[in-house]
Amino acid sequence: MERNRARRLLREACRVVLGEGAGLWDLVLVARPEVLSIPFAERVRILSSLLREAGACSQQTPLRQVE
C-alpha cells in the first residue's frame, strides 16, 4: 500500500515538472517509502533537479510553481 502511494506521489511530481504532454522520455523511478515523508514541493524540487542533471529537461524549461 505504501509503495503504491509513493508511486502515485512520484507520478504527480513528474506531471508538475514535465507537464501532461511530455512524452519524449521514458523514465524509471524507484518509489521508496521515504518518498512519503517528503513534502510535495520538496519532492518536485528534487525531481526537477535530478532531471536537469540527467539532461531530461534543460535549465530553460519553465517549471510550474508549487506551493
Q: What is the pLDDT of residues 11-52, one digit of tens each?
A: 888 888 887 656 666 778 888 888 899 999 999 999 888 888
Is residue 67 assigned to a domain?
no
pLDDT at 62 over 50: no
pTM over 0.85: no
Question: Which structural domain range is residue 42 located in?
Answer: 2-54
Total domains present in the chain: 1
Rounded-to-integer distance, Cα 13 and Cα 40, Å: 7
Euclidean distance between CA atoms 40 and 33, whole angstroms = 14
User: Does residue 64 sit within a domain?
Assistant: no
